[in-house]
Amino acid sequence: MNIGYYPGCALHGSSNDYEQSLRACLGALDVQLQEVKDWICCGATAAHSLNHKLSLALPARNLALAERDGFQQLFAPCPLCSMQLLKVQKAVKENGLREELSQIIEADVRGDGQVLNLIQLFERVGLDRLKAAVKEPLKSVTAACYYGCLLTRPPDVVHFDDFEQPRSMEAVLAVLGAKTVDWSYKTECCGAGMTMASEGTVLELAHKILSNAADHGANCLVVACPMCHVNLDMKQAAVERRYGKKLDMVIYYLSDLVGLALGLSGEQLGVNRHFVTKA
Amino acid sequence: MDLAPNQLLRLVQLGQTDAALRSQAIWECVSCQTCTTRCPKEVDCAGVMDALRETSLAHGMGAPAQQPVVSFQKAFLDNIRRNGRLNELELIARFKADVLFRTGRLAFLFKDASLAPQLGKRKKLHLLPEKARDRKVVERIFARCSNQADQ
C-alpha cells in the first residue's frame, strides 16, 4: 500500500521518535510512506491565531503538492496538520475558495483525496489483518486511550469517530490483546502548543490527564499526536515537581504499541528515546 | 481565563469589542475546539477567538500579561516565513530574546535550559535543520496573505 505522507515540522524536529515509530511499525505492515515533495509548514496554531488567510494558504499549498504527486490518500500523523488540511478541503469544496487559494499558493488545489490520521491509517490496513499479524499480544498493557482535541474536533471538519466518547483507538488496542480503561479525560486538551509560551497551562492540564488515567487503573497512556506526547512525556517530570507526586506514566504513540505487538523492539520503534521509560 | 467563550461572544454581540480585544482570555485559549463543538447555537466560538486575536494584534491591543504567547506566535510565523519549515532552536532563541526584551525577565532566558542536554541525548535536537526548497514561494504566499498583525 502506497500512501502520501505529510510529516509536518514536529516529526522532522524534536518529535522524530514518532516518525521512527511510524516507519518501523508501518514498514512491518507493508505500508510504504511516500513523503510529499517540497512540503512546507502548515502554520500551526500561530497561523490560525494571527492570520486566517495564511492558515488556509499554507496547508492548501501542501494539499496541492500532494494532489500534483497523485496521492489519493494523504496521511498526516499530527492531528493539527491533519485538521488544517481538512479545513482547506472544506473551504475549497463548500466555501468556494478554490480559485483564490490557488492564486495565492501558485498551484491548483482541488480539495479531493482523503486525509487520514493515524487511527484511520490502521483502519485502512484493516483490523482483521492487524490481528492476524500480532506476534506478541500485549497482555501486560492496560492503556488509557487519549484522543486530545483535534482527532475528533471540530466534528464538522474532521468527521471522525464520536467526538464525546471516541472508541476507535480502543478498537485497535483490542486486536493487539491489550486492555483499555474507561476514564474521563480522553478528549480533554493537554495545552497543545502552549508548552513554551504558557507552561503553567500545560502542567495543569497534563496533571489532570495523567492523574485521571492513573486513578482509573491505566499502566500507560496512548496518543496519536506529537504535541500530546511532548506535554505528557517530556513535561511529566515538571508536572511531578509542581504537584509533588510521582506519576511514572509511560506515554506511547499508538504506532509503538502496534509495533510491539508485531514483534518489533522498543529500540526499533524509538520507545527508548522517550523521557518516561519503563523501569 | 478572565472571560469565558460565551462571555466573549456576548461582548462582541453588544458591541463592546474593546473589552474582548483587550482580554487575557483570547491569548489563554488553547484552541481545543470544545466551545465550537458544544455550542448549542452552533457558533464557531474558536473561530471567533481566532478573529479576535487577529484583530487585537492589528490594533495593538494584545493584553500585556499575555505577551509571551503573542511573542511565541509571532516568532513562529516569522520562522516559517524565512525557512518554510520550522527551525525549533531558532524559534526558541528568538522567542526567549523577545520576551526578555519586552518584559526584562532575565530568568525566562534560562528556563527549561536543562532540557537541552536531555533532548540532545535522545537525538531530538537538530543543529542543522532542514528548510523547504521553495522558500521564495513561501515568501510570496506570506506577502499575499499579509495583514496588520504581521507588523
Tens of pLDDT, residues A17-41: 999 999 999 999 999 999 999 999 9
Could you tell me the three cell numbers for B115?
532540557
Q: In terms of Cα–Cα distance, which of A262, A218, A249, A219 is closest to A22?
A: A262
ipTM: 0.95
**How close B9 comes to chain A (CA, Å)?**
17
Task: Confirm or reject contact between B139 and chain A (CB < 8 A).
Answer: no
Predicted structure pTM score = 0.96
Nearest CA in chain A to B71: A197
Domains defined along chain A, listed by start:
2-118 (1.20.1050.140), 133-273 (3.40.50.11810)
pLDDT at position A84 over 90: yes
Residues of B in contact with A39 (CB under 8 A): 85, 132
Task: Confirm or reject contact between B14 and chain A (CB < 8 A).
Answer: no
Across the interface, do B68 and A197 touch by the CB < 8 Å criterion? yes
Could you tell me the three cell numbers for A238?
515538571
**How close B66 comes to chain A (CA, Å)?**
9
Nearest CA in chain B to A192: B30
Across the interface, do B150 and A192 touch by the CB < 8 Å criterion? no
Q: In terms of Cα–Cα distance, which of B135, B133, B115 is closest to B125?
A: B115
Instruction: Answer whether A59's CB lies under 8 Å from A81's CB.
Output: yes
Give me the residue from A150, A194, A196 closest to B33, CB to CB. A150
pLDDT at position A1 over 80: no
pLDDT at position A165 over 90: yes
Q: Are strands A32-35 and A179-180 parallel, antiparallel or unpaired?
A: unpaired
Instruction: Answer whether B50's CB lies under 8 Å from A48's CB.
Output: yes
Which parts of chain B have pLDDT scores under 50?
Answer: none
**How close A11 comes to chain B (CA, Å)?**
10
CA dist B37 to A84, A95, A152, A159, A169, Å?
A: 16, 20, 10, 12, 20
pLDDT at A2 (0 to 100): 77
